[in-house]
Amino acid sequence: MSTLYKSTGFNLTTTALTNVYTCPAETETIIKNIQTHNYGGSNVVFELYVSKNGTDYDIAHHTISAKDSLNAADGVLVLEEGNILKMQAASANSISGLVSYLEVRSDTKNPI
């Protein structure tokens, strides 16, 4: 078993539901923080989803004020193999940020 601290950036350039992170095979991911920033000039509705087995679950809904930031994850999230973290903003080119997470990987000799 190995653990890796990682982060991935995002910039929501459309209003479409956007895949930001997919949990790799033989891995569980603990998401600690989803730091978001509204760099636009007006308030933006932001939604956070986790897709499990093809079903999207709406897990957070925030209105982010212009030039403001917040942790969109209202608590720690755990993703399993194949789960997808998705985001959507009501306004394109206004929301960016960084997802900070820990991947816990198993192998055939040391399964999770």
**Any domain includes 112:** no
**Any domain includes 111:** no
CA 56 vs CA 6, 35, 47: distances in Å: 24, 21, 12
* Count of CB atoms situated within 10 Å of the CB of 2: 10
Question: What's the domain count of the chain?
Answer: 1
State the CATH number of the domain containing residue 81.
2.60.120.1330
Residue of higher predicted confidence among 57 and 107: 57
| Rounded Cα distance, 19 and 1, in Å | 27
What lies within 8 Å, CB to CB, of 38 at 6+ separation is: 44, 46, 64, 65, 66, 67, 68, 69, 94, 95
| Rounded Cα distance, 102 and 105, in Å | 10
Cα 4 to chain centroid distance, Å, stands at 17
**Any domain includes 73:** yes
Residues of the chain above pLDDT 90, percent: 92
| Rounded Cα distance, 44 and 80, in Å | 29
Give the mean pLDDT of the chain. 95
Contact 25, 18 (CB under 8 A): no
pTM score, two decimals? 0.92
Full domain range(s) for residue 69:
2-105
Region of poorest pLDDT, from 60-64, 77-81, 102-106:
102-106
Q: What are the structure tokens assigned to 15, written together?
A: 């209003």
**Any domain includes 56:** yes
**Any domain includes 110:** no
**Any domain includes 9:** yes
**Any domain includes 34:** yes
Tens digits of residue pLDDT in 11-49: 999 999 999 999 999 999 999 999 999 999 999 999 999
**Any domain includes 82:** yes
Q: How confident is the model at residue 108 (pLDDT cuts 50, 70, 90)?
A: low
